[in-house]
Amino acid sequence: MAGQNAELKPQQRSMQTSLGKVRGLGSARKGVSHWWMQRLTAMGMIPLVIYMVIALVTVIGDDYTTAVAWLQSPLNATAMLLLLGTGFYHASLGLQVIIEDYVSNEGRRLMAMVVVKLAMTGLAALSMFSVLSIALA
């Protein structure tokens, strides 16, 4: 360890232990990207959520034909696709932080993380494909 670090310049020497390195602990250098994407998707969703709430309130009681026609309009379909895409990404980032905070067991944390990431990806795919199948029908 010491011999390894001695060959490096002072700013390149690591405080991390060999065991920590092997187990992949410590910074994954993804923190800033996670933080930034959570804010970026949040900002993007402000107008989308307001638009969709107003739109859904007016369309949700309507019959099938009206609802389909509503989702077939390019503006509504695009807004819905953007909301679903950014929404499920935002949710996946947020749920990740909740798991990291509360699930301390490494195995369970990994399992919860896999379940959440796959579920959010699956729901995004299912809902976005459904929107496209209506809009392009």
Partner 1 sequence: MAQQRPLSPHLMIYKPQLTSMMSITHRATGAALALGSLLVVWWIVALATGAEYYSFVQSIIASWFGQLVLFGFTVAVFYHLSNGIRHLFWDFGHNLTIEGVHRTGYMVLASTVILTALTWALVFFG
Q: CB of 134 within 8 A of CB of 68?
A: yes
Q: How many CB atoms sit inside 10 A of residue 43's CB? A: 9
Least distance in Å: CB of 30 to partner 1?
A: 18
Instruction: CB nearer to partner 1: give 57 or 75.
Output: 57
What is the footprint of partner 1 within residues 4-33 (CB under 8 A)?
none
Least distance in Å: CB of 85 to partner 1?
A: 12
Q: CB of 58 within 8 A of CB of 6?
A: no
Tokens 């579920």, residue located: 119
**The binder of partner 1 chosen from 4, 5, 16, 58 (CB under 8 A):** 58
Check binding of 126 to partner 1 (CB under 8 A). yes
Residue 19's identity, in one-letter code, is L
Q: CB of 59 within 8 A of CB of 70?
A: yes
Instruction: CB nearer to partner 1: give 26 or 122.
Output: 122
Judge residue 24's burial from the number of C-beta atoms within 10 Å of its C-beta, 0-12 exposed, 13-18 middle, 19 or more buried: exposed
Least distance in Å: CB of 103 to partner 1?
A: 13
Residue 112's identity, in one-letter code, is A
What is the footprint of partner 1 within residues 65-124 (CB under 8 A)?
65, 67-68, 71, 80, 84, 87-88, 91, 94-95, 98, 120, 123
